[in-house]
Structure 1
């Protein structure tokens, strides 16, 4: 036997023994403190007493080390009165001293930082800073920044500033922020920040409201703030409205002249103002899809309206063929549906869901839905996402709450034999669904409505409301789209007819309409499967082509990726740059959101 070889096998790892010893020592010290064994000092905070060992306090804190070494009165006393933190904060500080970690919450972290700063515990301050950086939101970023400045936590201050820049569009709409009370210098530092991710019209409206809040003292400062607004980034119609209705603008010669120059020339002569890197721009989103020969389950493209170009965006984490994709509060919610490689056979897969946040340019997982909603519909109502129906769960309906990241099952649909739906919310309370039998490509079989307050469905509308379009060769799209008007809901397939539903009486009428056709040289009618409306406009992209859309058995041919926008104001179509990744069946995977320009440059 080779003795050196045996010795090597039996030898222990000194590093592992060292770590084991450290762990055992920490556990013993904590156990002794919990039981009061060998404790030689009592810390008193808000009438709460905490037993501790002087040696541990002094080893972890330069403050206690100086206290117990020097000629302080506490040297000979068993009790030390402390006012630098709360009782809960002191408990967390002691936990960190004894075990190297602490249970932090948004309720106690401020007190822990205050105490850690007083006790000169840099490691604990950094531990708290990392916690707050992970929990930064639009609602707390200003408070966190002030805390960072107060306690000289530069890394946390930088993180808070980044959140402020990224979330400014949300912050301006948050009544809890109370930015209206900020000083002129604070507001000036905000509006002059070139990295803000915000729309310029939102920023202009804010500085107008800020000035009016204390007009006597603030009116003289308005021009200085106005000079930081990138006027040429504001829609001309909105800019003209500001110029004609806001006294602060049209009664000041400097402001009025700047607006007129931009309206007449389209540019701002103040060349010193560079466009904001994070300015929010309108982008039409196209997700996933298939062209039958291949699938594009993770493709994610955006059409930048103001620049007439397509960009490839960060890929989602789930397959999007086909999926319900819905916009809510400028975020995209994608609800998984079918296996892209077996979708022709309609084989379901496990449900999945992700959310795209354009302000940070990331997809994030959210709670999985209860049901599979392939060919179903999704709609936002009262800041909640509702998913309903589908081939595999035709009667299902569930609601997603983004505040709690939970799904809740709601009342089932009335007509379970319907599998395809178009849904729209009304008055932020009701959901109207327009249903289609899967065996009838053109007909609408009924209209039901759901009350989100009472969780009840009402009986379908009379059969006379059936949308019979078999003989209407003017139809250009499928599925139909719904548009909410002040007193009615209109459902159209961009053809000769439309359904009009009164939101007051719920009476249904069948009326003629007019949409000019989108045709190629051979006279084929475009059948874009991706359509969404914004301010009455319609964006249509990719899809398939057919000379007749009234039967599901017609020969459908892939489109060339052509993109068009129907301008509601002048009733005309405009052709845009083709989609670089044409998809034949993108389904309901299109929406419009606002993305910071720095992410699409």
Structure 2
């Protein structure tokens, strides 16, 4: 290839360097002009000092300084096998090396010792491509020894992102206490805290005598407040090894107090002292369940939306078609309560409870409610679920409320609401359960706010002209409760501390029977039915987002189909554990 210059042409021979290297390798193989033998044990290979010195700082220092090797006819390289040394020499004279599972580790060590950084990185890349939960801990330790940051970070990433599988590997039990502490304490660890605790106990039991002194320090790395309270009570608080350690008992007592603050009905909503945030791997996802699909068909569909991907994913269907059931999330599970079971030409009002695990993508039946009901409302608070009002088996309007304790797996009757209403907006904030509006038995709007004090099991009511909502959801957004539509475009934000309502930016349409949930600091509204300008009713597939910072609405596109009377929930999950991509 030629390039013009001001005073002529610069000729470039792109194949010259490769041809030269090939000629040098021919000279080496024929032992022509070679002046040193590189040896490993009984194996030796003739080489050219100048070629070796040009290829590596290690050999340059050896042959161009006053070391004795600079004049010796034979040089032994300790710690490098004959096979590996042959591969290194081949690389020097050809620029090629064959990396396999069998030779990658000795080759990488030799490349580090003899200062061939490109071979070293090539070995690192190969190992990164072979990373799996079964070998990532060992390769992370090797990377630490060889000071290979790229491999170390990638191996650590696999160990953290695939922790449940890594915890089952033999390598985890071989970690030292400092290494295990480093993994368990990492905010990026992707696994339920129950699995973190089980991994810790398996590690301790592997060498109990030597590892016993590290129990307290390592137990502190488990984020105990995020463990299901029933699991904490049955499997952690009663663990014999922990009971035998006063230091660990102190850790558990602190966690128990935090758990009491997080889960007890008599605690405040503020974060307790020393509050530990959940690990960063948990993400909020939007879940839509059941409702009336296209052509008003009761559906069993369960749809999950990820903000990160902007995609909808179908999950395991509801076990049965349920009309006007209610649903809540509790301890990263979904509870679907009551409703009218539809099928085989008949409808039955039921008190059944179905529980969905996103991790397993599976439904199971839970303890049924005390009373069968539909068109009721439910709310979760701490480790409790409250199921309120609705229509009973005799089509009567119910004013009763019952409460489910997820630790005891039992329902109990609580104080009934002052005024029985259908389809109010419901939210829980600051130890109080709020019911906004709704309608009476004659389908007239009720202009009431009914408030239930959770720890006192008492109600009181407030009349207000601001309320006139029916079939509207309510959500907690920051410090306020937001009532979203309900035969109106209006959005009302209620401040419980000041007992004041504030109007927010209106929705585009008058909506009812829609869903609403909060993800992050934004409100998402799904589907429903809308009143058109000529007062006809249309089913909707709209998907909108409200930003309280700017008091504006933006469209998120469309749902996969029109949908109303569905449950719309936010569920915290670990995407990898739940099979989400």
* TM-score between both structures, scaled by the size of structure 1: 0.47
Pick the structure with greater CA Rg.
2
Give the structure with the higher percent strand: 2
